[in-house]
Amino acid sequence: MSKRCPLIAAQCKQMTKELLYEIGGEGRILEFCIAFYQLASADPTLQTFLFDHDNVVSHGQRLAKWIVNYMEGNEDLCEPGWEFAHYHTRCQSEKKPLRAVCFSVRDCRTWMRLHFWAMRQCGLDRNGRFWAWYVQLIHQHIALHNSYAPGYTIVDSVWSTIPGNLQMYKENGQDMVDLCPSYYC
């Protein structure tokens, strides 16, 4: 197993710290993460993954903290409880029997579309360097949830730029009817 080159890792850490500064810091990340969870809580596909006792601010704070820690190069990205929360979300069976399977491509694509839409709502797409870096980050990390999902990262990152997509999504009760309806796709 090869080790990461420390020079490259240090350069990436410095670059992402600069990007965090350029976009306005932690507060901007928190803003878009809360905006994302507001969208997710209204989406029937993603609602099933949210804990009933939690709220969009709590979810947004956890995700924002992870993103900021990642950008600052902190090695310890997981707080106590995060692993349990992700396991519970992936494998819960209380809400839907099919939730015992891992995230489907449809789940991941819905997540990515709403995630990038929330970023646009908060203006984070205006910084081209940050946008390109973040799309690549999602491309790399979405595979942890479904190995086929990275193939859709680029197309899903531009989904919210097409007004017809947003209109169709809203008209269909915040359901992405253009995605495969199966939980196994």
Q: Where are the domains of the chain?
A: 7-171
Note the pLDDT of residue 1. Answer: 42
* pLDDT category of residue 155 using cuts at 50, 70 and 90: very high
Separate counts of helices (H) and strands (E) for the chain? 9, 0
Model pTM score: 0.82
Kindly tell me if the per-residue pLDDT of 39 is higher than 70: yes
How many Cα atoms occupy the beta-carbon half-sphere of 11 within 13 Å? Answer: 5
